[in-house]
A and B are shown apart, each in its own frame.
Chain A
Amino acid sequence: MIRTSKRSRLPVKRLFPVCWRDTGVAAGIFALAVGVCAALRLIDKSDVYVALIFELAVVLVSRFTNGYLYGLLASLGGVVCVNYIFTYPYFEFNFTISGYPLTFLVMLAVSVVVSTLTTQYKQQERVKAEAEKEKMRGNLLRAVSHDIRTPLTSIVGGVNAILDSGGRLSDETQRALLANIRDESQWLVGVVENLLSVTRISDSTAGIRKELEAGEEVLSASVVKFRKRFPSMEVQVSAPDELLMVPMDAILIEQVLINLMENAALHGVTATEIRLRLRRDGDRAVFEVADNGRGISREAMGHLFDGCSTHVGDEPESDQKRNMGIGLSVCMTIVQAHGGMMTARNQPSGGALVAFSLPLEEAPHEDQG
């Protein structure tokens, strides 16, 4: 293996990877097999089971380690143990036992076959996960392009109408068209922000980058941004007296809060007030966005977070503000990536309430940014 030429080094590394975890696993299983054999010998003096137990060890090692290396080593070790320790004459090599080379070959074959199957299986898993990700990306892109095309149509149309009219439009109509163009452009800004969030998630291979952030700061920052776009909406914010430090990618969570507030403002229709609340629930921080609007309809409730509510829709798209889909599915993706969950319901007093919770305790690996 060592003498392999430079060209073949890569496949060698892939087929025979070495790592501490696998070494440990292999050594553990092997030691267990030796222990079991030694224990059984106290009960039963015959040694027919020894080869089988080591066979089993070889299968297990091949299955739970990567590549072929450990499986092969285990079969080699198995043969040695069977021959040297556990078969008569004990503690002596004896290669004259009939069928012995056969045992050795069978063990080797089993290890190669199981290793191959395991490797293939893992590869398939990877391909499947990749396909899943690709599908999600595709769904998001479809939702986005729909979300972009509609406002663009109305922007281009509106501008053309004003330019082509040669000043014949009344001031009032012109203003209305311009206001519409502004609203639609604002809309596009929001869509682009969401797109950026999505790239932030898929950029990082090892999940998202979490740092401890003060929950109340994220809350208030998102309100400042939201106010810029909806100055007339009343927003009430409340946070507990205790400072809640939550591990999160604050930019993404801020985006989630903005999305939820915008949804409340746009889909709530009659909503005039939004209440934003942060509270502690055991080992979780719960963020709530509630409005006093018309609430979420029964049909919409079903697939609120799956990103296709307006597209499979029985609902006519024209009079509905789109977004519902992408905004919420992005929110869901972000919250899930944090190990949190998100729920929506209608409040008894009227209006919708969307809440998501994030774990306060980070799983104990590097949290230093």
Chain B
Amino acid sequence: MKIKDKILIVEDEPAICSLLCAVLDAEGYETLVARSGALAETMIASHCPALILLDLGLPDMDGMGILRAVREWSKVPVVVVSARSHEQDKVEALDAGADDYLTKPFGTEELLARIRAALRHTRTPAGSRALANTGKFRARGLEIDYDAHRVTLCGEEVRLTQLEYRLVSLLGLHAGKVLTYDFLMKELWGPGAKNDNQILRVNMANIRRKLEKNPAQPEYLFTEIGVGYRMTEEDAELPPRKDE
């Protein structure tokens, strides 16, 4: 029998539960369901799922509490699925350690893509298998060489400043995941960084002008308004899939 990735769905709405189960089953995942926060906490500890789909609005407790509790002892990927669409909620969840944040309503294609990305990130310590093997991040013509500290675009070297390189390499390390403004500021300018993220915006704008054919229609570096930045997914080593 094939071993399947176990996904724990923490969600109190029966209709959404059954929808998620159906979609994930069809995709070859094994699904578990927890209808309350208390149940979820015991199930996470006993089943050790490969990924948790977490709804923030639970009847007995706030989903953020579960997220924080899990993060104290585990690195299991958590994808937050929530009806709260204010960017502040997203930032809070991502900063608390969520791997991704989906706002209801979402398409099933998108959900599956995010789950695949989140699972891929946990398989190797560096976040990606290719990166761990070759020390290189590759995505459609863009290549970040982590050993040589070089970024090339379709084989041609891109001249980045030190700061710009660090920004790009950080985003590449977490490709597919939104890194919040706060996280990036702290990583690059230290914990004493000012609240004001203008300098980050300006650096990103410069990077876009160097990497993107059309900075207003980026292929690699995406903005999540009010939340942060995201690098496009890495090329799969297997034959490319149709989506993304």
Contacts and interface: CB of A to CB of B under 8 A. Distances in A.
Contacts of B205: 214, 216, 243
Interface in A179-199: 185, 189, 193, 196
Contacts of A185: 105
B214 interface: yes
Given A237-B214, A237-B217, A216 B208 contact: yes
Interface in B105-125: 105, 107, 110
Ranked 8 nearest A-B pairs via Cβ: A239-B216, A217-B223, A237-B216, A237-B217, A243-B205, A216-B216, A250-B225, A221-B225
Given A196-B85, A243-B202, A368-B196, A221 B217 contact: no
Contacts of B224: 221
Interface size class of A (residues with CB under 8 A): 20 to 34
A241 interface: yes
B198 interface: yes
B216 A245 contact: no
Contacts of B217: 220, 223, 235-237
Given A189-B105, A237-B216, A218 B225 contact: yes
A262 to B, nearest CB: 16
A66 to B, nearest CB: 35
A200 B225 CA distance: 15
Contact of A228 (B110, B218, B226): B110
Contacts of A82: none
Interface of B: 85, 87, 105, 107, 110, 195-196, 198, 201-202, 204-205, 208-209, 214-218, 222-226
28 contacts: A185-B105, A189-B105, A212-B198, A212-B201, A213-B201, A213-B225, A214-B201, A216-B205, A216-B208, A217-B204, A217-B223, A217-B225, A218-B223, A219-B216, A220-B222, A221-B223, A223-B217, A235-B217, A239-B215, A243-B201, A243-B202, A245-B198, A245-B201, A250-B225, A251-B87, A251-B226, A254-B225, A278-B216
B215 A221 contact: no
A133 to B, nearest CB: 22
A251 B225 contact: yes
Contacts of A27: none
A238 interface: yes
Interface of A: 185, 189, 193, 196, 212-214, 216-221, 223-224, 228, 235-239, 241, 243, 245, 250-251, 254, 276, 278, 368-369
Contacts of A221: 222-225
Contacts of A245: 198, 201
Contacts of A243: 201-202, 205
Contacts of A223: 217
A237 B208 CA distance: 14
Given A216-B205, A220-B216, A238-B214, 4 more contacts: A193-B85, A220-B222, A250-B226, A369-B195
Contacts of A219: 216
Nearest to A216: B216
Nearest to A244: B205
Contacts of B204: 214, 217
A189 B216 CA distance: 26
Nearest to A369: B195
B100 to A, nearest CB: 15
A243 B107 CA distance: 33
Contact of B216 (A193, A238, A251, A368): A238
A220 B218 contact: yes
Nearest to A235: B217
A221 B110 CA distance: 16
B156 to A, nearest CB: 20
A230 to B, nearest CB: 13
Contacts of B196: 368
A224 B105 contact: no
Contacts of B198: 212, 245
Contacts of B225: 213, 217-218, 221, 250-251, 254
Contact of A216 (B85, B87, B215): B215
B239 to A, nearest CB: 22
Contacts of B105: 185, 189
Contacts of A369: 195
Q: Which of B195, B202, B209, B218 has the most CB of A within 10 A?
A: B218
Interface centre among B198, B202, B209, B217 (most CB of A within 10 A): B217
A213 B228 CA distance: 12
